[in-house]
Amino acid sequence: MEETTSVSYCNHNYSGSPITNIPQDYIFTIILFLPIDAVLSLSMTCKRFKAITSSDTLWKSLCKRDLGSTCVDSLLKSCNSNHHVHQFSWMKLYKQVYKIDSVCCHKLSYPHGDLDFPKARASHSLNFVSDCLVLFGGGSDGGRHLDDTWVAYIGNDFQKILKWKTVHSGIPSGRFGHTCVEMGDFLVLFGGINDHGNRQNDTWIGKLTHNENKSITFSWKMLDVGSVAPPPRGAHAACCIDGKRMVIHGGIGLNGLRLGDTWILELSDSHCFGTWIEIAIHPSPPPRSGHTLTCVARNKTILFGGRGLGYEVLHDVWLLDTCQGYMRWIQVLYDLQNIPDGVSLPRVGHTATMVLGGRLLIYGGEDSSRHRKNDFWILDISSIPSTGASSKIVLTRMWKRWKSNGYEPKSRSFHRACVDPSGRYLYVFGGMVDGLVQPVEPSGLGFDKELFHVELVLQL
């Protein structure tokens, strides 16, 4: 058959385009290298390509390519557990993901009679690791710091009822304004401030273990980083890059000075020690606190917002490119006036989380007048081109505000949020809230202990 095809091709005795003679498995492989617009255009060229590009196998591969295998596997488990598997379509899933324009909020409750749950707090940490939520520290009523660690299991049979478990051994000293990032099955914590105003610069590593009897244990230990470490700070930003390094930026240092430095922690394979390296590059983001750093691709990290040296609330976007070991900051410019409702974008004390479809979801925070927010914004990562030699990128369409329905949580800032492996479910806990009838402090600062769950709306 192959010889006949080859001869026919050479003698030009074939019918139709030469590309139609390529074996189907080759075409399948080629299609997986094409952007989605090209795939859809190809489907309209002939019946053969229409059949191939309608294949559920192809769309499953496209979902894994563009959404990630971890996300796809998690979504499939969710659909199986909800008995949606019979009407499940990979093509429909792919198209629905990129049509998402709203979220639905659900309040999470605790088992009836269970009084063992985290108290109200802000500027804590909340992470999703090994199918569990892990919460540590924060500031509470009267500005007092907390030193407690809480763990709650989230499984496929999760029914919006959560049971927390406390951890009692080897806990870092009490603090708020610290950062804590996931690195595989581990958490890495850095810095923070205690209620005496002392800034910290210690580094801790936490590990969660699922035991054979289905119980869960969590342990902290201080990481040996040698004699070099970033200056003490709190209210800085951090994230994990490359799956094995932690990057931090800015924060409030000694004497209340806002910082603009960037450091990277290289963790050893054994997770027993680490090395801090300062990344001194120009240009770089101005000093700030209360901002966010989010890894949006293996070698790309987005910095957004915060409070600057002059106490102004910021809305600038910076991209940290760490490709091939060469690191640089690139400013992403846009016109705030051309964005509907864009005047509300500047914020501090918000969260920024990568969610389904490769989008950065910004939630909450507060403006320069300390008015807290309850809005959801999407920063379209795909609109940011591959970086070139320039230190600036100018974009016109990168922000979109999403609708929210379901349960309406209070407006908040300095809360924390984390996402499950599917990227579809965001968990939000605590923060500072408005509208308290009887504030616990003369300043009117209110601390919240609400846990809710934000679902990206998919019509599966």
Provide the residue ranges of all domains of the chain, joining segments of one domain with +. Answer: 21-97, 102-456
Q: Which of 62-71, 199-208, 440-449 has the lowest mean pLDDT?
A: 440-449
pLDDT at position 77 over 70: yes
Distance between CA atoms of residues 314 and 362, nearest Å: 14
Domain 21-97 in CATH 3.40.50.460? no
What per-residue confidence (pLDDT) applies to 2?
41
Distances, alpha carbon 179 to alpha carbons 21, 184, 254, 425, in Å: 56, 16, 17, 21
**DSSP character for 98?**
T
Handedness of CA 208, 211, 215, 219 (dihedral sign): negative
pLDDT at position 8 over 50: no
Q: What is the mean pLDDT of the chain?
A: 86
Structure tokens at 159: 């029914």
CATH architecture under which domain 102-456 falls:
6 Propeller (2.120)
Q: Does residue 283 have a cis bond before it (omega within 30 degrees)?
A: yes
Cβ–Cβ under 8 Å, residues 139 and 121: yes
What per-residue confidence (pLDDT) applies to 79?
67
What per-residue confidence (pLDDT) applies to 405?
95
What per-residue confidence (pLDDT) applies to 436?
52
Distance between CA atoms of residues 373 and 313, nearest Å: 13
What per-residue confidence (pLDDT) applies to 358?
86
Distances, alpha carbon 118 to alpha carbons 167, 173, 430, in Å: 12, 17, 9
Q: What would the pLDDT profile of 117-154 be if each residue is shown by its tens digit?
A: 899 999 999 999 998 999 999 999 877 899 999 999 98
**E strands within 97-140?**
102-107, 125-129, 132-139
pLDDT at position 5 over 70: no
Q: How confident is the model at residue 19 (pLDDT cuts 50, 70, 90)?
A: low
**What is Dmax (Cα atoms) for the chain?**
90
Q: How confident is the model at residue 435 (pLDDT cuts 50, 70, 90)?
A: low
More confident site: 23 or 84: 23
Distances, alpha carbon 308 to alpha carbons 92, 286, 290, in Å: 44, 7, 9
What per-residue confidence (pLDDT) applies to 288?
98
More confident site: 210 or 169: 210
Among residues of the chain, what percentage have pLDDT more than 70? 87
Q: Tell me the whole-structure pTM to 2 decimals.
A: 0.88
Q: How confident is the model at residue 48 (pLDDT cuts 50, 70, 90)?
A: confident
Q: How confident is the model at residue 287 (pLDDT cuts 50, 70, 90)?
A: very high
The pairing of strands 446-456 and 179-183 is: unpaired
- Measured in whole angstroms, how far is the alpha carbon of residue 291 from the centre of its chain? 14
The pairing of strands 125-129 and 132-139 is: antiparallel
- What residue type is assigned to position 433 of the chain? V
Structure tokens at 399: 């922000």
Q: What would the pLDDT profile of 183-226 be if each residue is shown by its tens digit?
A: 988 999 999 999 888 999 999 999 998 888 778 889 999 999 99
The DSSP code sequence of 350-373 is -EEEEETTTEEEEE--B-TT--BB
Give φ, ψ of 20 to 5 degrees.
-70, -15
Cβ–Cβ under 8 Å, residues 2 and 21: no
What per-residue confidence (pLDDT) applies to 162?
81
The DSSP code sequence of 214-275 is S-EEEEEEE-B-TT--PPPBBS-EEEEETTTEEEEEEEE-GGG-EEEEEEEEEEPTTSSBEE
Structure tokens at 329: 């900051």
Average pLDDT for 254-264:
95
